[in-house]
Amino acid sequence: MTRKEFLQTAAGVAAVTAMPGAGAAAAATAKKGPKRGVSLFSYTMEFQHRKNLEDLLEHVADLGAPGQGYKMGVEILHGHVPGYPNPSTAWVDNWHKLIAKYNLEPVQFGSWIDSNRYFGRETTAKEELQSMLQDIELASLLGFQRIRSRYAHAPDENGRPALNPGGGAMRGRAGMLGPPPGGGPPPAEPGGKGPMWSYMNDPHLKSTWKEVIKAALPTAEKRNVRIVEESQYAIKAPQVGEMIEFMEKEKAFPWFAINPDFVKFATMRMGGRTSEPGSKPEELKPILKYVGCIHAKTGDISRDCESEDTPYPELVKIIKDSGWDGYLITEYQGSKMFEGQSIHQVRRAQVQLRRLLGEV
C-alpha cells in the first residue's frame, strides 16, 4: 500500500503532498486522549536486512495525519542503539537530529533486565537494579520519558529458560516463546495469523521485583523517566493485582505503571492450535488509571485494514471513552514479518487506528 493509497483509505483526502510528520508539526501541546505510535520492533527483519534507523523513523513520521494534534510516537529497543549501553556522542547527537527532523515523540525505550546473563546463577537484585538504572539514564539521554520494562516477568517457574539452538529464542516451561537476548527476531510461525511468540500462559513475577522497582523510583523521578512494566498477563491475573497493589501502597504511579498488551485480547494461533483470548475488552477499563502506555499488538492485517485476531473496535472505544491519555503503540508480530511485508502491515494497522480514533 502506497502513501497515497493510505491517505485515501484513511481519510478520503488527497494529502499526498503532506510532509512527513506534518500532521503534528504545529502542535505545541499534544492533544489529550489516545495517540498513535509505532514500536520499531515491528520492523525487525527490515532493520536487520534492508533498512537503517533513519528509514524506519521516516516511515513512522509518514504515518502522521494532517491536523491530528500530536507527534507520532516511537518506541525503540536497545538493539537499535549501537554500542548499547554506551552509544557514542556522535550517534546520540544524530538520534536527536533525526527525532527533530521527522517531528517524532520518543515514547518508550525498550528495556530487558537479563537475569540469566551468567551461566550457573541468576543475577542479584543489586545487579538487576544497576541494569535498570543504566537504562533509565540512557532513556533520559535519548529524550524518552518511559522505559518499557520487562523486568518483573520471571522467565520460568523453575529457573532459567532453555536456549533453542536453532534460533536462539528462549522457551520456558510456561510455554513462552521469546526473543533472543539482545532483542532479535521472534521465531517464525508458518501460516499463523495472530501475534507470535507471546505467552500462552502467564509467567510469575520475579521474587525481587518490588525491591528493585522501589529502589529505582527516586532515579526515575529525578530523570523524569517512568518505569512502565509490560504486562502480558490476563487482566484479572493475580500478577496484575499485585502490581496495582504495589502502586497504591508505595504511591508509585506515575513513576511505575503498567503497559497492557493487546495480545491478551487476541485469538492466538500457534503450532496448529487456537487459544481463546485470556481477557475480555471490558476488563481493561478499571485498570486504565494505572496504565502508562499500551502495546496495540497485532498479527497480520487484512487488505481492508482490519485486525483478524484482536477486537480493536471494542478496545479502542473503551480507551477513548475512558479519557485515557497516552500512546497506543503498534507492535506488529505477524507472519508476514518474515516475507518483507512489515512496512505494509504497520501502515494497515495505523489506518485501522486512525479510523477508530476518528482521525479521518
For residue 148, what are the contacts with CB-CB under 8 A and spacing of at least 6? 75, 108, 109, 110, 111, 228, 230, 259, 293
221-134-93-88 Cα dihedral, nearest 10 degrees = 170
pLDDT in tens, 135-150: 999 999 999 999 999 8
Q: What is the pLDDT of residue 58?
A: 97
Residues 287-300, mean pLDDT to the nearest whole number? 96
Is residue 160 scored above 80 in pLDDT?
no
Q: What is the pLDDT of residue 247?
A: 98
Evaluate whether 41 touches 77 at the Cβ level (below 8 Å): yes
- How many Å apart are CA 70 and CA 72, to the nearest integer? 7
For residue 59, what are the contacts with CB-CB under 8 A and spacing of at least 6? 43, 343, 346
How many alpha carbons fall within 13 Å on the CB side of residue 88?
A: 4
- Alpha-carbon 148 to chain mean position: 7
Residue position matching grid coordinates 501541546: 29
Which segment of 104-108, 128-132, 161-165, 279-283 scores lowest on mean pLDDT? Answer: 161-165
Highest mean pLDDT among 8-22, 31-45, 149-163, 171-185: 31-45
Residue type, 310: T
Work out whether the CA dihedral 38, 41, 45, 51 comes out positive or negative: positive
Q: Which fold has domain 3-22+34-357?
A: TIM Barrel (3.20.20)
For 10-66, what is the HEC assignment? HHCCCCCCCCCCHHHCCCCCCCCCEEEEEEHHHHHHHHHHCCCHHHHHHHHHHCCCC
Q: What is the pLDDT of residue 182?
A: 41
- How many Å apart are CA 298 and CA 271, to the nearest integer? 18
pLDDT above 70: percentage of residues in the chain:
76
Q: 260, 295, 139, 268: which is closest to 201 by C-alpha?
A: 268
Ranges of H-type helices in the chain: 3-11, 44-49, 53-62, 89-101, 125-141, 209-223, 238-250, 312-322, 342-357
How would residue 272 be classed by pLDDT, with cut points 50, 70 and 90? low
pLDDT in tens, 5-27: 544 454 333 333 333 444 444 34
Evaluate whether 21 touches 100 at the Cβ level (below 8 Å): no
- Alpha-carbon 315 to chain mean position: 16
Q: 210, 275, 272, 279: which is closest to 246 by C-alpha?
A: 210
- How many Å apart are CA 18 and CA 333, to the nearest integer? 29
Evaluate whether 143 touches 106 at the Cβ level (below 8 Å): yes
Which segment of 46-50, 87-91, 165-169, 281-285 scores lowest on mean pLDDT? Answer: 165-169
Q: What is the pLDDT of residue 261?
A: 94
How would residue 275 be classed by pLDDT, with cut points 50, 70 and 90? confident
Q: What is the pLDDT of residue 154?
A: 65
Q: What is the pLDDT of residue 212?
A: 95
H/E stretch holding 74 reads: strand 72-77
Evaluate whether 232 touches 198 at the Cβ level (below 8 Å): yes
Is residue 29 scored above 80 in pLDDT?
no
> DSSP labels for 182-209?
TT-PPPP-TT--S--S--SSPPPBPTTH
Q: What is the pLDDT of residue 284?
A: 97
- How many Å apart are CA 280 and CA 260, to the nearest integer? 13
162-163 β-sheet, strand order: 162-163, 170-171, 177-178
pLDDT in tens, 109-139: 998 877 667 778 888 899 999 999 999 999 9
